[in-house]
Amino acid sequence: MKHIYLNLKRFDVPTEFGGVNRIAAIKDWAAYIITNTQEELRKYNTNEVEFAMYFPEVHLLEAAAAKTTGSPIKIGCQSVYRADVSIGGNFGAFTTNRPAAAMVGAGCETTIIGHCEERNDKAGVLAEAGIVDPDAINRILNQEIKCAIDRGMTVLYCIGEKSEEQDQWMEVLGKQLEIGLKDVDTSKVVIAYEPIWSIGPGKTPADKEYITKIARFVKEKTSGMDIVYGGGLKQENAAMLASIEEIDGGLIALTRFQGEIGYYPEEYLEIVRLYMNGGM
């Protein structure tokens, strides 16, 4: 099965505040995205490809309400907290955090966990205490994954190595998989590979040979789990990624990288079309 994910990060921030939202007013933003993509996505067989969109928390109710009957879009949140609400236990003492129970209650079916930006945030908190411990980050993410799955959600689990970790990529990715997926029902998880060292302006994107090498390693390490390219599925690389047998889809963020950069639904649909048609 193929998987096409969309991480909308904080693309809801208006341009006058330094953001990249040019498509709709904040109150209409999520509904605009759903209503301008779901009908076109219906032409794809949902037994062959899944579409998930990860919204900032404030937009989840609006996104879920905009879905029509039989919509192919799965609404997702951007990670969950490492602990959850429980009957007879903690019923909501989670100020600033998003327990999985609340996310499912808001209409989420899936979540993205371990994105490089989430890993950086956790590393920054540890650094304030003078601690550098990537394994601790993986253990926290493991708790988040379990909370999400226990609530019936599926998980997109992101792994990746930084430039200073490239020489040890096998050890770094191996630990992220081994610790992050410890005692997890992996049938509920898809892996997203982010080559952190190659993402961003002025950096050289990972090529087909490198991505294939990583995908084969992940499949071998995980007994064949699905893996998508998390370094950015876009028009320029859709054909290349579609040609890699070991890659099962991609994660989209920005759809336009020059001029009025940002996310645009019509460009998202073109990326989907290109990938599903092998770049044609």
Confidence of residue 279 (pLDDT cuts 50, 70, 90): low
Catalytic residue set: 115, 194
Does residue 24 fall inside a structural domain?
Answer: yes
CATH number, domain with residue 11: 3.20.20.70
pLDDT in tens, 145-174: 999 999 999 999 999 999 999 999 999 999
| Gap between the Cα atoms of 2 and 50, Å rounded | 6
The angle subtended at Cα 256 by Cα 250 and Cα 259, nearest 5°, is: 165
Does the pLDDT of residue 106 top 70, yes or no? yes
Domain membership flag for residue 99:
yes
Distances (CA, A) of 203 to 120, 200, 231: 19, 6, 12
Assess if residue 276 is contained within a domain: no
User: Are 87 and 103 within 8 A, CB to CB?
Assistant: no
| 168: in domain | yes
Count the alpha carbons within 13 Å of 190 in the hemisphere toward its beta carbon: 27
Residue 269 maps to a domain: no
pLDDT at 202: 79
| Band (18; pLDDT cuts 50, 70, 90) | very high
Q: Is residue 64 part of a domain?
A: yes
- For residue 262, being part of any structural domain is answered with no
For residue 47, the enclosing domain spans: 2-257
| Percentage with pLDDT > 70 across the chain | 99
CB-based burial of residue 25 (10 Å sphere; 0-12 exposed, 13-18 middle, 19+ buried)? exposed
Counting the structural domains of the chain, the total is 1
The mean pLDDT value of the chain amounts to: 97
pLDDT digits (tens, 9 = 90+) for 201-218: 778 899 999 999 999 999
The mean pLDDT of 137-143, rounded to a whole number, is: 98
Work out the percent of the chain whose per-residue pLDDT is above 90: 97
Is 147 among the domain residues?
yes
Give 201 or 12, the one with higher predicted confidence: 12
Phi, psi of 189 (to 5 degrees): -125, 140
Query: At a CB cut-off of 8 Å and minimum separation 6, what does 17 contact?
Result: none
d(CA 97, CA 24): 27
